[in-house]
Amino acid sequence: MSSTVGEFLREKMTNMGRWVNTELGTELDVDLEQYVARRTETELAMIANLLSTNSTIIIHKDWSGLSRLGDIPEELQTCFHSIRQRQDMHDKFWKYLQLFRDVISNPTE
């Protein structure tokens, strides 16, 4: 069980990375699970905060808005683009982004 917001984000972002890697395999140039592993908890929280600050993108499942977020690292943008091409991954992807947004917005809940 995670005891801090950063630990929780790391766990859930790692899960997302594993899922993306499994689903996309060699289609993806980025190993998302390893990308998350190399980030600090502060970096992961900053990504979640960026999603929280741009919450309407998540609410409306706005792929174009997501692609225009300038502070999202290029590796993540690459993953997002690949996921966008796979309709069967959309629901779970947006649920992950909602989770990251909610956790950073309400860290004590």
Contacts of 77 (CB under 8 A, 6+ apart): 67
As for how many domains the chain has, the answer is: 1
Q: How far is CA 49 from the centre of its chain?
A: 11
Is residue 105 within 8 Å of residue 42, measured between CB atoms? Answer: no
pLDDT tens-digit map of 34-85:
999 999 999 999 999 999 999 999 999 999 999 998 888 899 999 999 999 9
Enclosing domain of residue 80: 5-105
Contacts of 74 (CB under 8 A, 6+ apart): none
pTM of the model: 0.91
Contacts of 100 (CB under 8 A, 6+ apart): 9, 12, 13, 47, 48, 51, 52
